[in-house]
Structures are given as C-alpha cells and as structure tokens.
Amino acid sequence: MRSLKWSTSHAVFVTEIDDEHKEIFQTVGELQRALSGENPLAGTRELTAQLVARIQDHFAHEERLMRAARYGSLRWHKQKHDGALKQVGQYVGRIETGDTSAALALVEYLTAWLHEHTRLADLMLGSFLRNHNRGLYKMSFQAGTKPLNACAWVDASGTKFNPAVRHSGY
C-alpha cells in the first residue's frame, strides 16, 4: 500500500489549512504504521478516534472559513466533506467491532481521498481565500482603517509608514 506523505504538491498556501493537513496526513501515517506492526489491534482504535476528530475539526474549520468569505462553491465542497465523513463512519463502525481489515481499508480510502481533495477542492479554496483576504486589505486601506491582523503598513518600497499621518507630495 502506498503511504500518504505531505509534500508541497498538497500545499494550498493558507498556513492554518496546510498545518491541519500536515497533522491529518501524519496521523494517517501513524495508523498505517500501527497496522503493519506486530500487534495491529493495539492503539488502532485510539488512533482512529484521534484521526476522525482531527478530520471533523478540520472540515468544520474549512466550512467556517468558506461561510465567512461567502465562498460560491461551499455547497459542492461541503458535499465532498460530508461524503467522506459518511464513508469514514462506516469503516469506524467496523473497526469498533475489532475488524482490523476495516482499519486498513480506512487508511487506503483516506490516502486516496485526501491526496485528491487537497490538490483540487482545497487548493481552489486556498486560492479564493487568498484573493478574498487581499481584497479586504485593499478595502480597509481605501477606507483608511488598519486591517485587524496587519502588523504594519508598508509602502511599495517596503518602508513602514503610519497611514494616519498625511504625507505631502502624494
């Protein structure tokens, strides 16, 4: 079975999303290693519960970001999340009865699903969020207010300035 490793080909260039993806990929890897060990049952349930919780939190986080930014493809993206959660739930039900082949099937399913989903649906979302945030910066600059998460105002030459102080010569 191929293993899931996060690489820059999975990057969506939104740090908080990329960090959560890395954690999820890592947990899938841990589950895969546990399954190929001497005692596959030990720790499998715990790791599966951890993995499912991470995935649920992550999907909810992405959906919050989509709602806040009024993302047009929210329904399409959420349907993908819901479909994956349903499938994962079925594997988890079998794992809880001690079926280790279901844990193996879960790893295989998530390896393929996460690889595809991050490189298409999440990449599209990342690109939308970056443009959306750039738009917010521009709007607040034009309105003369400082964006909440801005550390400093920087002009085109990279020099810090205070937008509250009017400069002559502009």
Chain residues that interact with Fe ion, rule: CB under 5 A: 62, 122
Strands 153-154 and 160-161: antiparallel
DSSP notation for 1-28:
-------GGG--S-HHHHHHHHHHHHHH
Residue with smaller CB distance to Fe ion, 35 or 122: 122
Torsion of Cα atoms, 49 then 54 then 59 then 63, to 10°: 130
Closest residue by beta carbon to Fe ion: 122
Beta carbon of residue 90, minimum distance to Fe ion (angstroms, whole number)? 20
- What's the min distance (Å) between Cβ of 30 and Fe ion? 18
* Closest to Fe ion by CB, 35 or 125: 125
Q: What is the largest CA-CA distance in the chain?
A: 75
Nearer to Fe ion, 15 or 142 (CB): 15
CB of 55: closest distance to Fe ion in angstroms? Answer: 9
